[in-house]
Structure 1
Amino acid sequence: MRRYTGFVALALMMVLSLWFGLGEKGGNRLTPPPATQQQPAPTAQPKPARPAEKPVQKTSLPATEQGFDYYVLSLSWSPSYCQSDEGAGNRQQCGSNRDLSLVVHGFWPQFVDGYPQFCGSSEPERVPDDLARRQLDLLPTVGLVGHQWRKHGTCSNLSQRAYFAKLRAAWNQLKLPSDLSSAGQQKTLSTDRIVSQLTAANPGLIASAIDVTCDGSKLDEIRICLNKDLSYRECSGDNRRVCRRDRLVLPAAP
């Protein structure tokens, strides 16, 4: 019995030896699976750059004075008007107690060719009495003040007060030579003489910024062209129809 026991033990040892030998040479020993490699997180793609925005073009002019090119300050020789059929019945301007020479006819927004008129405005059409009467040292009648505002002032896109303030500034900067500042006696001048006297009295005022109109042989109006900053500029379009007479009568006040 002991012989069989030893034989069994020897056989068992041989089996175990064979088993472990194959495992070392192996190829049969189970090996753990390789560690899963962690994939790098996807990097965020940069957003495409936005195209640069174009700079907004800014104007040096106030928005309220856009929509036209320049101004015309129109000055009327009052005695010539008072001798016309229209002026004969205007006692407010042409009464015997009014010794007027050049008066403001209007302050007109102007295109290079043509002009706007009767424009829409947020301001009322009627000029308040107190504001209108403060203009009577420049425009000779309340009716003319209201008409000029409705026809021309509304196209400036300024308020009533700003429009008349700008008109006054344009008038105040203009110096009139003696022949044009008094109508105490009748005078005879040429168009060229009127222009040369004005340019001599006003540095910066050029001859091409002045238009002289006539009613027959009499001086009718002197029109002066100004930029929106009230510097003088060349007239254009309708404002180049000048009257060129060698003898132009400036009647005396009635």
Structure 2
Amino acid sequence: MLRRFFAAFLLALTGMSAYAASDCVLDDCSDRQASPQTREYRYNPRRGGAAPAGDFDFYVLALSWSPSFCAGGGAERSRNQCAPGANPGFVVHGLWPQYFQGYPSNCGGNGFLPFSVLNGLNGLYPDQGLARHEWRQHGVCSGKNPAGYFADVRAAREAVTIPPTLRAPGEERSTSPLDVQRAFIEANPRLRPGMMAVTCRRGVLQEARICFSKDLRDFVACPQVARAGCRSQSIDVPAGR
């Protein structure tokens, strides 16, 4: 009983009390059946062992602010992404299977990414090496084959509208994580506070992490992800090269 009360309290604390019946997107609100109030987590990564592929609660789409990556030494690892004049803004970092507490890892499976799938990504990732890494690290935990997983990545990316003020790097400026989050929520009407996080490192914008239902039909509440967002009052947004 105490555990359920505490979980409910945390959910309310993240501002998700507005996650009412009108926000349910699956029949009979079935997307809420795996809520942290009622779910017994099948796997705890801190205990070690292997997680079964396909066993997770929701996805996190991680979108990285490319100028921050390039300014932080990324130019040595991804020359095309960081080439002068390339100037991508938010790029796909990955689509990560998650539990409401923790995440699956060590899922086993075949970590090889066929060239036929890799060559069909058509710029979905800023670098093919990143796509291979993401398949080995996260894709094998999805329970899908490579083609199915990367179709999910593309669907998630296409479901998110990048705010107009963040579509392309302009001059370097300062903002707040809250303002970045507000811009995403304004650009994506079904997105709510508590369904995403803005991350930073040493006062610099790093990523927008947006939570999707397992079937990618809509955004979902993800209290643990939201609480892990940037706590700085002001962050720098680097410009393109």
TM-score of the aligned structures, taking structure 2 as reference length: 0.73
1:172-183 to 2 correspondences below 5 Å: 172-183=158-169
Counterpart check, 1:115 vs 2:100: no
CA distance in 1, matches of 2:106, 2:174: 37
Cα distance, 1:238 vs structure 2 = 4.8
CA distance in 2, matches of 1:129, 1:66: 23
Q: Would you say the 8 A contact 1:114–1:238 is kept in 2? A: no
Q: Would you say the 8 A contact 1:99–1:184 is kept in 2? A: no
SS in structure 1 at match of 2:154: helix
Counterpart check, 1:84 vs 2:75: no
Q: CA RMSD in A?
A: 2.3
Counterpart check, 1:138 vs 2:124: yes
Cα deviation 1:37-82 (Å, max 9, x = unaligned): xxxxxxxxxxxxxxxxxxxxxx99xxx9841111000010011011
Q: Would you say the 8 A contact 1:118–1:152 is kept in 2? A: no
Which position in structure 2 is the counterpart of 1:27?
Answer: none
SS in structure 2 at match of 1:208: coil
Which position in structure 2 is the counterpart of 1:226?
Answer: 212
Q: Would you say the 8 A contact 2:197–2:225 is kept in 1? A: no
**RCO higher in structure (CA 8 A, sep ≥6):** 2
Cα distance, 1:201 vs structure 2 = 1.1
TM-score of the aligned structures, taking structure 1 as reference length: 0.69
Cα deviation 1:212-233 (Å, max 9, x = unaligned): 1101121011100111122111
Which position in structure 2 is the counterpart of 1:38?
Answer: none
Distance 1:125 1:66, change over 3 A: closer
Distance 1:152 1:89, change over 3 A: closer
Cα distance, 1:97 vs structure 2 = 4.1
Counterpart check, 1:95 vs 2:86: no
Q: Would you say the 8 A contact 2:74–2:82 is kept in 1? A: no
Q: What one-letter code is carried by the residue in structure 1 that aligns with 2:82?
A: C
CA distance in 2, matches of 1:90, 1:178: 26
Q: What one-letter code is carried by the residue in structure 1 that aligns with 2:125?
A: L
1:33-112 to 2 correspondences below 5 Å: 66-112=54-100
CA distance in 2, matches of 1:98, 1:131: 24
Q: What one-letter code is carried by the residue in structure 2 that aligns with 1:192?
A: L
Cα distance, 1:186 vs structure 2 = 2.0
SS in structure 2 at match of 1:93: coil
Which residue of 222, 234, 237 maps to 1:247?
234
CA distance in 2, matches of 1:85, 1:216: 14
Q: What one-letter code is carried by the residue in structure 2 that aligns with 1:229?
A: D
Sequence identity percentage = 37
For this pair of structures, how many residues does the alignment match? 192
Which position in structure 2 is the counterpart of 1:170?
Answer: 156
Q: What one-letter code is carried by the residue in structure 2 that aligns with 1:126?
A: F
Q: Which moved more, 1:111-120 or 1:158-167?
A: 111-120
Q: What one-letter code is carried by the residue in structure 1 that aligns with 2:118?
A: A
Which position in structure 2 is the counterpart of 1:197?
Answer: 183
Cα distance, 1:120 vs structure 2 = 2.1
Q: Which moved more, 1:226-235 or 1:133-142?
A: 133-142
Q: Which runs of 4+ in 1 moved over 4 A?
A: none
Q: What one-letter code is carried by the residue in structure 1 that aligns with 2:233?
A: D
Which position in structure 2 is the counterpart of 1:21?
Answer: none
Q: Would you say the 8 A contact 1:136–1:142 is kept in 2? A: no
